[in-house]
A = this chain, B = another copy of it.
Amino acid sequence: MKKVRIGIAGYGNLGKGVELAIRQNDDMELTAVFTRRDPSSVKTLTEGVKVCSLDDAKAMADEIDVMVICGGSATDLPEQTPELAKYFNVIDSFDTHARIPEHFANVDKAAKENGHLALISLGWDPGLFSINRLYAESILPNGKSYTFWGKGVSQGHSDAIRRVEGVKKGIQYTCPVDEAIEAVRSGSMPELTTRQKHTRECWVVAEEGADLAKIEETIKSMKNYFDQYDTTVNFISEEEFDAVHNKMPHGGFVMRSGLTGDGEKTNQMIEYSLKLGSNPEFTASVLICYARALSRLRNEGATGCKTAFDIAPAYLSPLSAEELRAAML
């Protein structure tokens, strides 16, 4: 069997996760890593992997079946995905929900004009959580949907903490409120405010001599980031910080509480949850799984841009349709 030849564009936490996920899938192989840094300065986890400058990527168009783009959503992906879609079949994890329609249109145009296939906004949210919202809302039209995130590290909120004067290191965990989840599970379809759904837990290493009370007050009152939440700020030593807060766990819950039957009185509950030891490694596993689907769909002639909504589950598995029906249905 011919393996799917993968290129990785961007070699941060997500790119490294993709490299490791490829090792778990026999039908995939890593062809090259592309970076904006000096390629000679990048040391990959896998010995002997080719590292190239991202600027030279297009010269390798014939050697790569799927380019997995591992940049950030704020500024990297809006540029990179449409540009690389001119030369490659591409997949990304673009997660700025409000800008997805615009990103989709840009990528779709570039991919269609050049006969390539693109998959955007893959991962777990957007991605697996989106699919579960869609399945659940389609099955239970009379109902209410809820998404809870955490417990997990929010990069955006951690960055915000680190910008506060006197903060040397900082990390923020988004925590779902157990009572809110239980209220949803009860079938009562509660209306929940932002404050009722999540709390924010901050761990901070302060600069020597910094005003701790002021740091705490500045964090807690930060508009949009923290002011609408019950926030706790914990000051710890740098040693403890480095030892305990060096992982990127995350996860969450998608729930749909619905009513069916005569008079719509029967409670039905659908719940999907993730508990992830590493957010970037899991996101990478989702990307590689969808790279398989992308490769197959491209071989069937598909071009343009698609999302997780457009991909039939069978395309994700290395098993044949017959094997899936016999073993997994």
Contact B312 A311 (CB under 8 A): yes
**Which chain A residues numbered 282 to 326 have a C-beta less than 8 Å away from chain B?**
282, 284-286, 289, 292, 307-314, 316-318, 321-322, 324-326
Q: What is the chain B residue whose CB lies nearest that of A23?
A: B264
Chain B residues in 8 Å Cβ range of A312: 309-312
Q: Give Cα A264 to B21, complex, Å.
A: 10
Which listed residue, B272, B282, B307, B317, touches A260 by the CB 8 Å rule?
B282
Of A121, A134, A251, most buried by chain B (CB within 10 Å of CB) is A134
Chain B residues in 8 Å Cβ range of A65: none
Chain B residues in 8 Å Cβ range of A142: 24
Q: What is the chain B residue whose CB lies nearest that of A311?
A: B312
Q: Which one of A96-104, A151-159, A216-224 is at the interface?
A: A96-104
Contact B308 A281 (CB under 8 A): no
Q: What is the chain B residue whose CB lies nearest that of A254?
A: B272
A139 at the interface (CB under 8 A from B): yes
Chain B residues in 8 Å Cβ range of A100: 325-326, 329
A138 to chain B, nearest CB (A): 4
Which listed residue, B101, B121, B261, B274, touches A269 by the CB 8 Å rule?
B274
Q: Which one of A33-41, A124-132, A163-171, A201-209 is at the interface?
A: A124-132
A29 at the interface (CB under 8 A from B): no
A89 to chain B, nearest CB (A): 18
A17 at the interface (CB under 8 A from B): yes
A53 at the interface (CB under 8 A from B): no
A243 at the interface (CB under 8 A from B): no
Whether A20 contacts B314 in the complex (CB less than 8 A), given A185-B275, A289-B138, comes out as no
Chain B residues in 8 Å Cβ range of A12: none
Chain A contact residue count (CB 8 A cutoff)? 71
Contact A24 B141 (CB under 8 A): yes
Contact A314 B325 (CB under 8 A): no
Q: Give Cα A285 to B139, complex, Å.
A: 6
A273 to chain B, nearest CB (A): 5
**Which chain A residues numbered 239 to 286 have a C-beta less than 8 Å away from chain B?**
251, 258, 260-262, 264, 266-278, 281-282, 284-286
A268 to chain B, nearest CB (A): 5
A140 at the interface (CB under 8 A from B): yes
A238 at the interface (CB under 8 A from B): no
Chain B residues in 8 Å Cβ range of A316: 134-135, 138-139
A133 at the interface (CB under 8 A from B): yes
Q: What is the chain B residue whose CB lies nearest that of A273?
A: B271
Contact B261 A268 (CB under 8 A): no
Chosen A-B contacts, 14 in total, with CB atoms closer than 8 Å, are: A100-B325, A100-B326, A121-B329, A134-B314, A138-B292, A138-B318, A139-B286, A140-B285, A266-B277, A266-B281, A268-B277, A269-B274, A271-B273, A309-B321
Residues on A lying within 8 angstroms of B by beta carbon are 17, 20-21, 24-25, 45, 97, 100-101, 104, 121, 126, 128, 130-135, 137-142, 185, 187, 251, 258, 260-262, 264, 266-278, 281-282, 284-286, 289, 292, 307-314, 316-318, 321-322, 324-326, 328-329
